[in-house]
Amino acid sequence: MKFAMIGAGAMGLRYGILLQEAGNDVTFIDTWQPHIDKIREQGGVYQMRDHQDRHLVKIKLETPESYNGDPDMLIFFTKQMQLNEYLRRCAHFFNDRQYAFTCMNGMGHIEKLQKYFADDKIIGGTALIATVLPGPGEVDFMGKRGAGKLNMCPLTEKPDEMTHRLFDELQKAKMNPTLTDDFTGTLMTKVIFNSVINTICTMFEIPMGEFGNFPGANDMARQLIDEAYDICARADIHLVSSRQEEIHAIDINTRIDMPLHYPSMYQDMTKDRPTEVDYINGYIAALGRKYHYEAKTHLFVTQAVHLAEFHRQNLAKQRAIKARQAERQAQTA
């Protein structure tokens, strides 16, 4: 198949490189200029797995403006806050034959995709795969080859030939796909999963294993999960796992599968990028209000992450002031 990977960040690179290794034609499209410059300078991306075996992988890289191909499938892996701008800049090569697939975190992206693609051409998914972008032109796949999994479901909940072709290619790429039959339930189940791990680890700036091994982890997870599941019941959203299965998945993921991993929200915050908390915990809280349920814990956690962002921004300002002061003192000495 011919793929265009819209967003060549950590997850975009992982999906794209693995699909490329499985024999597909993949072009990466990105807008982050230092990343683009580094990849072009190196002639590709340096890929590692668990910080080891660093090697160069040649890839085709374009910007939205320079790409004029006609892929079968567009895979979207941008941040929620970036998607509208990517869609606007990429719209010139969209057509009504193409399919759009995404495993982005949070909620709100499907409505944006619907402005450019018909419902029967949209496939949603969720990924339980950890990947890190250490810097421009470099990506680190966490976990052994074949680690992680993903769920996928067409928006119509009626898999067609292209859905099955995509499933087969993801399977060849050892990404362990599962085809589900409930679109909203599939996406919301991952949002709830992220609403625990991503936000708590980001608030306290800790790896996932430190949270998982904390004696009160299950109680903290249960409080967030119960609120979210109560809201989904009111909204008639059928989640693909039970409350206890979700808690068990969080426990295994944090303590056993990826204890040393820092979630993507933490990576964004520590690199002074906006987090997606409003599209995760904030989305759950907003959905609750729609159905007359006050998700107090999700509201608190949303503000707590914003407080952590605010604190880091203030520290950066203080460091900048001190640096300017030191520079002036050195000039007058």
Backbone angles phi, psi at 118, to 5 degrees: -70, 155
Residue 64 pLDDT: 97
Give the β-pairing of 45-49 and 52-57: antiparallel
Q: What's the pLDDT score for residue 317?
A: 87
| CATH (one of 3.40.50.300, 3.40.50.720, 1.10.290.10, 3.50.50.60) for 2-180 | 3.40.50.720
Q: Same topology for domains 2-180 and 186-316, yes or no? A: no
Pull the structure tokens for residue 318. 């203080």
In our burial notation (b when 16+ CB lie closer than 10 A, e otherwise), range 94-126 reads: beeebbbbbbbbbbbbbebbeebbeeebbbbbb
Task: Tokens 């403006």: give the residue.
Answer: 65
Give the separation between CA 312 and CA 308, rounded to whole angstroms. 6
Element (H, E) at 198: helix 183-204
Contact by Cβ (8 Å): 105, 280: yes
- Would you write out the chain's pLDDT as a tens digit for each of its 333 residues? 999 999 999 999 999 999 999 999 999 999 999 999 999 999 999 999 988 999 999 999 999 999 999 999 999 999 999 999 999 999 999 999 999 999 999 999 999 999 999 999 999 999 988 889 999 999 999 888 877 889 999 999 999 999 999 999 999 999 999 999 999 999 999 999 999 999 999 999 999 999 999 999 999 999 999 999 999 999 999 999 999 999 999 999 899 888 888 998 998 998 888 999 999 999 999 999 999 999 999 999 999 999 999 998 888 888 888 888 888 888 876
End-to-end alpha carbon distance in the chain = 65
Please enumerate in sequence order all residues whose Cβ is within 8 A of that of 252, keeping only pairs 6 or more positions apart, or say none.
none
Q: CATH says 186-316 is which class?
A: mainly alpha
> Shortest CA distance to 86 belongs to which of 116, 120, 118?
116
* 232 and 188 Cβ atoms separated by less than 8 Å: yes
Domain ranges of the chain: 2-180, 186-316
| Residue 319 confidence (pLDDT) | 87
CA distances from 317 to 266, 271, 275, 313, 327 (A): 20, 14, 19, 6, 15
Backbone angles phi, psi at 106, to 5 degrees: 80, -170
Q: What is the pTM of this model?
A: 0.88
Picking from 37, 2, 323, 34, the residue whose alpha carbon sits closest to that of residue 166 is 2
Q: What's the rounded Cα separation, in Å, for the pair 304 and 300?
A: 6
CA 254 – CA 264 distance, rounded (Å): 14
Q: Closest by alpha carbon to 197, among 72, 105, 65, 71?
A: 105
Q: Look at residue 333 in the predicted model and tell me its pLDDT.
A: 66
- The DSSP letter of residue 149 is E
